[in-house]
C-alpha cells in the first residue's frame, strides 16, 4: 500500500494520529499547555523532556475526546432532558431512562442507539473540520 492510499482513520478522530495538534486545532494552545507542564515539572534531560511532552500530548488528546463527546451528546434530541435528569446523579439518569423507555429491552436498545448516534456524530464532526 502506498502512502497516498493509506486510510486516514487515525486523523478522523485524532486519537491515534501521529500529529499531536490537528489542522483544526490551535497549536498555540497546545504549546501553552506544554510550557505550563515544563514549568511545573522542571524536566532535566532528554527522557524527562520526552515524558513531559508525552504528558502534554495525552492531556491534549483527552481534551479532544472530551470536546467531541460533549458535541455529540448535545446533538441528541433529548440531551437537555437527560442532562436535567442527571442533576440528581446516576439515579436521576436511570429514572429518566426508566420513565421514557418502558421495559428493560427497550431501554437497552435506546442506550445502544444513543451510543451509535454519538459515535456517528463525533466521526462526522472530526471529518468535517
Q: What is the 3-state secondary structure (H, E, C) of 65-108?
A: HHHHHHHHHHCCCCHHHHHHHHHHCHHHHHHHHHHHHCCHHHHH
The angle subtended at Cα 23 by Cα 22 and Cα 27, nearest 5°, is 70
Rounded distance between C-alpha atoms, residue 73 and residue 97, angstroms: 15
pLDDT, tens only, 15-58 = 556 688 988 899 999 999 999 999 999 999 999 999 999 999 99
Q: Are 71 and 121 in contact (CB under 8 A)?
A: yes
121 Cβ contact list (under 8 Å, min separation 6)? 71, 72, 75
Q: What is the pLDDT of residue 83?
A: 87
Rg (CA), the chain: 20
What is the distance between the alpha carbons of residues 125 and 12, in angstroms, rounded to a whole number? 9
Question: Which pTM was predicted?
Answer: 0.58
Mutual orientation of helices 104-128 and 46-74 as an angle, nearest 10°?
A: 120
Counts of helices then strands in the chain (DSSP H, E) = 6, 0
- pLDDT, greater one: 98 or 53: 53
pLDDT digits (tens, 9 = 90+) for 48-76: 999 999 999 999 999 988 888 888 788 77
Amino acid at each position: 500500500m502506498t502512502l497516498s492510499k493509506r486510510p486516514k482513520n487515525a486523523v478522523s478522530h485524532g486519537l491515534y494520529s501521529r500529529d499531536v495538534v490537528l489542522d483544526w486545532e490551535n497549536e498555540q494552545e497546545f504549546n501553552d499547555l506544554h510550557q505550563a507542564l515544563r514549568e511545573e515539572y522542571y524536566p532535566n534531560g532528554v527522557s524527562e523532556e520526552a515524558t513531559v511532552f508525552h504528558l502534554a500530548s495525552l492531556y491534549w488528546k483527552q481534551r479532544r475526546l472530551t470536546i467531541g463527546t460533549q458535541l455529540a451528546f448535545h446533538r441528541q434530541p433529548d440531551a437537555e432532558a437527560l442532562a436535567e435528569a442527571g442533576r440528581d446523579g446516576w439515579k436521576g439518569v436511570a429514572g429518566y431512562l426508566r420513565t421514557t423507555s418502558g421495559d428493560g429491552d427497550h431501554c437497552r436498545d435506546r442506550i445502544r442507539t444513543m451510543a451509535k448516534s454519538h459515535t456517528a456524530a463525533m466521526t462526522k464532526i472530526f471529518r468535517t473540520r
